[in-house]
């Protein structure tokens, strides 16, 4: 397992480099001019100086190399300096946003907690709801609960967040007035009332994101449970006189969780993609809103950095899924 993990980590390096090159080339070939938002009253020679200041006058391969050095060498040094009080990155040029004229990673660090609160909570809630639904649906196959669960999860999986978000706002915020429809990212939790308000404003975005997570994982959980309930070892366990609770929870559930755990690991990067839309709907000032704003402003360094971070999450959690699958299933040997 250790050899496999090391081999996958080494293979991830050229994979990520190739992904970063593809992202860079796509952004370079995309239509749009970073100078488009500059007022028309600005003289052309001033615009040209601004373009050169942003590095747009340099060859494409030079700009790509500078981004690689800034992201993979300078930014880790900045992180190291922050935690250990050193000055390795002092005076070195970082990845600068064309929109805010500030380091991109500083803005990411400011906005990431908001995204993690919403995304992390929605994923945990979705998993905690999906696994019991999948277990009971499989155990009571073709029952009323199973039929209703299948119908509801199919609806939840089919409806996109950009439709579910405004729908829950209209129902629970406009009509019923239960929850605030705008997520206040400046809210500080310092007492019980502020904590309750934080929970109230998180319910709707968490609900929207958790809906698709619950639908997907519950279907995988049900299918995996049904596959194991008909195995010989289950009939043997029942023939030995074990209680139905022990058979289902100890034997069937343990083996059924092997593919589900990998699905959970692989689905985490996808939930960040859904958060981009959800943050726009509920005005959550997270990295999804930062990415949309950068796209609208033709802020290529920010778009490239955030897109690469999403790609990194996909590669990383694919590795995590493979490792977990080998740990949970003793029959799997990668070495």
pLDDT in tens, 103-134: 888 888 888 888 888 888 888 888 899 888 88
Asked if residue 13 is part of any domain, the answer here is no
Shared domain check, 76 and 175: no
Q: Which helix (H) or strand (E) holds 275?
A: helix 253-282
Q: Quick one: 246 and 308 in the same domain?
A: yes
Do residue 181 and residue 218 come from a single domain?
A: yes
Residue in the structure block whose two tokens are 């726009």 = 280
Please give the average per-residue pLDDT across 41-54, as a whole number. Answer: 69
Residue 287, both tokens: 């990295």
pLDDT at position 119 is 80
Q: Say yes or no: 59 and 119 in one domain.
A: no
Q: For the beta carbon of residue 210, count every other beta carbon within 10 angstroms.
A: 22
pLDDT tens per residue across span 4-16: 778 878 888 888 8
Residues 91 and 117 in one domain: no
74, 94 contact by CB (below 8 A): yes
Domain of 74, in residue numbers: 35-97
Q: How many domains, in total, are found in the chain?
A: 2
pLDDT per position as a tens digit, 204-240: 888 888 888 888 888 888 888 888 888 888 888 888 8
- Residues 75, 93 share a domain: yes
Say what the pTM is: 0.78
Distance CA(285)–CA(112), nearest Å, equals 9
- Give the total residue count for the chain: 335
**Residue 335 scores a pLDDT above 60:** no
- Residues in contact with 169: Cβ distance below 8 Å, sequence separation at least 6, in sequence order: 181, 204, 281, 282
List C-alpha distances in Å: 293 to 53, 94, 99, 181: 21, 20, 9, 20
Per the CB < 8 A criterion, the answer to whether 161 and 278 are in contact is yes
């Amino acid at each position: 397992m250790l050899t496999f993990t090391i081999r996958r980590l080494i293979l991830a390096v050229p994979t990520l480099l190739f992904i970063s090159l593809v992202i860079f080339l796509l952004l370079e070939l995309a239509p749009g001019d970073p100078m488009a938002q500059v007022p028309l009253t600005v003289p052309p020679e001033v615009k040209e100086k601004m373009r050169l200041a942003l590095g747009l006058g340099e060859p494409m391969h030079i700009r790509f190399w500078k981004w690689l050095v800034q992201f993979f060498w300078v930014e880790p040094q900045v992180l190291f300096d922050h935690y250990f009080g050193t000055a390795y990155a002092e005076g070195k040029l970082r990845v600068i946003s064309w929109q805010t004229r500030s380091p991109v990673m500083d803005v990411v660090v400011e906005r990431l907690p908001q995204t993690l609160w919403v995304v992390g909570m929605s994923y945990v809630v979705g998993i905690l709801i999906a696994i019991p639904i999948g277990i009971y649906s499989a155990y009571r196959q073709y029952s009323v609960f199973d039929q209703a669960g299948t119908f509801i999860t199919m609806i939840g999986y089919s409806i996109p967040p950009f439709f579910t978000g405004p729908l829950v706002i209209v129902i629970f915020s406009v009509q019923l007035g239960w929850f605030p429809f705008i997520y206040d990212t400046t809210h500080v939790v310092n007492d019980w009332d502020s904590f309750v308000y934080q929970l109230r404003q998180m319910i709707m975005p968490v609900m929207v994101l958790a809906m698709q997570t619950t639908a997907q994982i519950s279907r995988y959980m049900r299918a995996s449970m049904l596959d194991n309930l008909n195995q010989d070892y289950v009939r043997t366990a029942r023939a030995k006189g074990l209680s139905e609770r022990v058979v289902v929870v100890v034997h069937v559930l343990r083996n059924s969780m092997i593919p589900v755990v990998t699905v959970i690991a692989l689905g985490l990067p996808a939930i960040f993609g859904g958060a981009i839309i959800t943050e726009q709907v509920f005005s959550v000032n997270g990295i999804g809103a930062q990415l949309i704003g950068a796209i609208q402003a033709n802020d290529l360094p920010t778009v490239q950095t955030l897109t690469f971070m999403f790609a990194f999450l996909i590669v990383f959690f694919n590795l995590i899924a493979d490792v977990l699958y080998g740990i949970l299933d003793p029959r799997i040997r990668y070495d």
